[in-house]
Amino acid sequence: MSRKKIYVFGIVKKIIIIFLLLCIKNHGINAQEARTFKPIPTPKNVSKMGRPMAQTIPVPEQKVNRMVKEMFNSWKRGTEFEKYLSEDFYNKDKLVDAMTYKVPVDAKARILSIKNTRVLEQYAKPSTKKDGRIEVNSIVSVTADTQIEFNDVNSGLRKLDGENEYIIRIKGELVPVK
pLDDT band for 142, please (50, 70, 90 cuts).
very high
**What is the pTM assigned to this prediction?**
0.64
Q: Which fold has domain 47-174?
A: Nuclear Transport Factor 2; Chain: A, (3.10.450)
Task: Give the mean pLDDT of 30-35.
Answer: 54
Give the number of residues written for the chain.
178
Q: Taking the domains of the chain in order of start, what are their residue ranges?
A: 1-38, 47-174
The CA-based diameter of the chain, rounded to the nearest angstrom, is 102
Q: What is the pLDDT of residues 61-101, one digit of tens each?
A: 899 999 888 888 887 666 677 888 887 788 888 888 887 78
> Is 145 a residue whose pLDDT tops 90?
yes
* Partners of 56 in beta bridges: none
